[in-house]
Amino acid sequence: MRAHLLHIGKTGGNALKHALRPYNPGGSHDIVFHPHAVRPSDVPLGEPVLFMLRNPVNRFVSGFNSRRRRGRPLNNAEWDRNEAVAFAAFPTANDLAEALSVAQDSRRAEAVAAMRGIYHVKSSYADWLVDVDYLRSRRDDILWVGQTSRLTADFERLKQILGLPIECALPADPVASHRRLDTDETCLSPVGIKNIERWYAADYPFLAFAAEASGDIARPGS
């Protein structure tokens, strides 16, 4: 049976693909590796789906830094006009996060435009998953939901579900897994964190769904 690995941006999809491809096919499912554009609604009813989620604050920081680097060193995607303007105005993720609540109207408007213009930053989980009610309607099709914060443990659970050998492992190479660089600034101030949590407030119910469902969604032989 096919299983569809969806790639929600900045949640760990590159690491999963790198780990699973050498062992596919070979487990209980033939994995279809999808690009960012594919949503659960594109997957036929009755076919299993796999995907990852991540805390929205961490996903924002990762997405900002990835686009600031133009996706390098793994990729090389030039900025569009909106991104060029955004990164000229906001050199760090914290600069942008804090500016969402500044008193100056023009600076706040710049921040909102940047949030809506930077690829990865402008997306939300609803762009892929619609809403929690939709996920519940596809519950029988969701074979596994991983969370980036516990990827090592969740990946071991995925290997059991797919019947993959112990040799199957997440990449240690930071380029292959598209991890951040040591030079990336990752800290947000308390104000910045609060602003980003508010901006992505609609994403948190999806994390709650993943936490609720992970115990009974991920079941060998399903």
pLDDT of 130: 93
Backbone φ and ψ for 71, nearest 5 degrees, come out as 80, 0
Joined tokens for residue 135: 């996920």
pLDDT in tens, 174-210: 655 455 666 778 899 999 999 999 999 999 999 999 8
The DSSP element (H or E) to which 146 belongs, if any, is strand 142-147
pLDDT of 222: 33
pLDDT in tens, 112-169: 999 999 999 999 999 999 999 999 999 999 999 999 988 999 999 999 999 999 999 9
pLDDT of 28: 84
pLDDT of 24: 84
Q: Is-contact 75 169, C-beta < 8 A?
A: no
Residue 91 has pLDDT above 70, yes or no: yes
pLDDT of 215: 59
If one counts every other C-beta atom within 10 angstroms of the C-beta of residue 38, the result is: 17
Location of structure tokens 């059991």: 160
pLDDT of 53: 95
pLDDT in tens, 21-50: 998 887 789 999 999 999 999 999 999 999
Give CA–CA dist 141/216, Å, rounded.
Answer: 12
Please spell the DSSP secondary structure of 28-77, one letter per residue. SSEEEE--TT--GGGSPTTS-EEEEE--HHHHHHHHHHHHHTTTTTT---
Over residues 52-57, mean pLDDT: 95
Does a cis peptide bond (omega within 30 degrees of 0) precede residue 22?
A: no
pLDDT of 106: 96
pLDDT of 77: 85
Give CA–CA dist 176/178, Å, rounded.
Answer: 5
pLDDT of 178: 52
What does the angle CA 192 – CA 36 – CA 180 come to, to the nearest 5 degrees?
Answer: 45
Domains annotated for the chain, with CATH where assigned, are 2-217 (3.40.50)
pTM for the model stands at 0.87
Q: What is the mean pLDDT of the chain?
A: 89
Pick from 155, 125, 6, 13: nearest CA to 74: 13
Kind of pairing between the strands at 142-147 and 49-53 = parallel
